[in-house]
Amino acid sequence: MVNLGSISFITETGGSFDANHNPVPSEKVNSEYVECNIKVITREYKTMVDGMYKQARYSIIVDWVKISSFELTTLKEIQLKDNKGVNLGVFQVQSQQYLTTTGQLKLVV
């Protein structure tokens, strides 16, 4: 696999009630970055009134051995960086698929 970037998995912790039965908000925690292969599916630059923003969709492949300790059943968000360390942003996971032939996980965000 060609490493074209890195991925961090975002999980939520907490989110319960305190002693007075008041809700305690959950916190988002980033995992350590793991090397991955990033492929651009679509990338659009749109102009708004106050400037320009980028809308992108990526396909990510990561080795299962590197991420087998993560709880992926509740995976909803990830953060991506390219191979130069530039932050590509936080994305919601649209689909995930385990590739049995190669032992890798494919995510579409």
pLDDT of 52-96, one tens digit each? Answer: 666 778 999 999 888 877 777 778 899 999 999 999 889 999 998
| pLDDT for 66 | 84
**pTM of full prediction above 0.85:** no
* Structural domain for 34, as ranges: 5-16+24-108
Q: How confident is the model at residue 3 (pLDDT cuts 50, 70, 90)?
A: confident
State the total domains in the chain.
Answer: 1
Residue 8 above 70 pLDDT?
yes
Q: Confirm if 37 and 61 have CB atoms less than 8 A apart.
A: yes
- Going by C-alpha positions, the residue among 74, 60, 73 that lies closest to residue 104 is 60
Q: What's the angle, vertex CA 10, arms to CA 19 and CA 60, rounded to 5? A: 160
- Give the count of beta carbons closer than 10 Å to the beta carbon of residue 33: 15
Residue 47 above 80 pLDDT?
no
